[in-house]
A and B are shown apart, each in its own frame.
Chain A
């Protein structure tokens, strides 16, 4: 089974891109499953159900959605295996710039919307710097010159990744992503598998549900801004 993980900021076009890729793969008589991870609610399954493939939605609720993914990876893998899947697509919640919800042996893709992050793909952090493939969407909204500048910028953050321009509205460019997916690693087990990037050490009061602000309510790992060092006028 091939595992394909999609990360990327909300509204960057992950669902649209995945939809077009799978649509192009449907006539290959291969079994495809998709898992969508989100925080509190998600309606992506309604979109994916149109493809007539098994879809599961995992809502992390009180947990960080990336931790939630890591915790549930084996279960998701087994679920896909029960469906005799050749391909398991995982669409992550994609909202935090601290992490990269990627696996060492999976095909890891990051979708970036070049309109919203044209100046600063580096703000997206490890999601961009550790991806195998970077999918740049909404390129039709900017000029050829800006697109070239943007791609150059992405390349300078992650020069190992393959950069592909794709259009989520009409699926243009998605055939190139499909080609990479079809030719990616086959995994026979997740045993010994590792995340490509460690998750944050999050063990303060707010991790366990505290909502009140103030020192007296804070316990655990408390990290404060050093104003002497980081202030500038």
Chain B
């Protein structure tokens, strides 16, 4: 993949053919961007424009530039998508094999020579994210939704060679969301998170608001929002403690009601 410093989006048209109102939006490496908006507001199409390096002739008429230049046709039509690694909404593996064998197979496909080191490394990262530890000798298909997601995230964090990482709806995976974003954060990569979750929406340096197929606003996170984020983070921890307690068959008597009160105030 061509090395570039920043990617720019030049405005196109909304679903009703009105021009988008932003001027030119640059996405820089090492930053997190979130995309928010109702279902059907054009989030997926925006991602597709970025992924396909839209040249102004597509559905939305948006143009994508790399370092201020229109990418060449060779790059645009390169068969392999070398620009974006996807962490999509799916929560389960479908390959019927052992975790260890799968990681080794994937490493071989990527031309990594030290396959066994790779297993330890990826499991170490995955197990930071999920409640129940993943064992190397487990079957991939037997992993829970959260474990599968954790493994997918760890794999991308360790292996991904693309300049952009796209995370689609990480919220319901039963894993530590912020740790996951932290793990994927890399100063050589642009992270884009499509989300409905307030915690994740605020975890981006900038958020892009979509409506009617177009980018309606681009907002930079305020200091106030950063404070709110830490509050939300606390409340998220309480929620996840309660979730864990219920999952483990404990009653909620042990959880102090004061704590919850603080969060709710």
A residues lining the B interface (CB < 8 Å): 115, 118-119, 140-146, 148-149, 151-153, 162-165, 170, 172-173, 175-176, 179-180
Contacts and interface: CB of A to CB of B under 8 A. Distances in A.
23 contacts: A118-B94, A119-B95, A140-B88, A141-B90, A142-B90, A143-B88, A143-B93, A143-B148, A144-B86, A144-B160, A145-B152, A145-B159, A146-B94, A148-B110, A149-B95, A164-B79, A170-B44, A172-B48, A172-B51, A173-B52, A175-B77, A176-B78, A179-B73
B80 A144 contact: no
A170 B109 CA distance: 28
Contacts of A143: 88, 90, 93, 148, 152, 155
Nearest to B168: A140
A178 to B, nearest CB: 9
A163 B109 CA distance: 15
Q: Which of A118, A164, A165, A175 has the most CB of B within 10 A?
A: A175
Contacts of B96: 119
A167 B93 CA distance: 19
A151 B81 CA distance: 12
Contacts of B80: 151, 163
A118 B90 contact: no
A173 B105 CA distance: 26
A140 B58 CA distance: 22
B248 to A, nearest CB: 28
B232 interface: no
A176 B95 contact: no
Interface of B: 44, 48, 51-52, 58, 73, 77-81, 85-88, 90, 93-96, 102, 105-106, 109-110, 148, 152, 155-156, 159-160
Nearest to B80: A163
Contacts of A172: 48, 51-52
B83 to A, nearest CB: 12
A140 B169 CA distance: 13
A188 to B, nearest CB: 26
Given A143-B152, A162-B79, A149 B106 contact: yes
Contacts of B85: 144
A179 B52 CA distance: 12
A144 B94 contact: no
A141 B94 contact: yes
Nearest to A155: B109
Contact of A175 (B52, B87, B94): B52
A171 to B, nearest CB: 9
B204 to A, nearest CB: 21
A23 to B, nearest CB: 10
A170 to B, nearest CB: 7
Given A144-B155, A153-B109, 14 more contacts: A140-B88, A141-B94, A142-B93, A144-B88, A144-B156, A145-B152, A145-B156, A146-B95, A149-B105, A151-B80, A162-B79, A163-B80, A176-B77, A176-B79
A83 B105 CA distance: 50
Contacts of A146: 93-95
A140 B48 CA distance: 13
Contacts of B51: 172
Given A119-B95, A145-B106, A148-B109, A140 B79 contact: no
A161 to B, nearest CB: 9
Contacts of A145: 102, 106, 152, 155-156, 159
A149 B111 CA distance: 11
Contacts of B152: 143-145
B94 A115 contact: yes
B94 A163 contact: no
B106 A148 contact: yes
A149 B94 contact: no
Contacts of B109: 148-149, 152-153
Contacts of B102: 145, 149
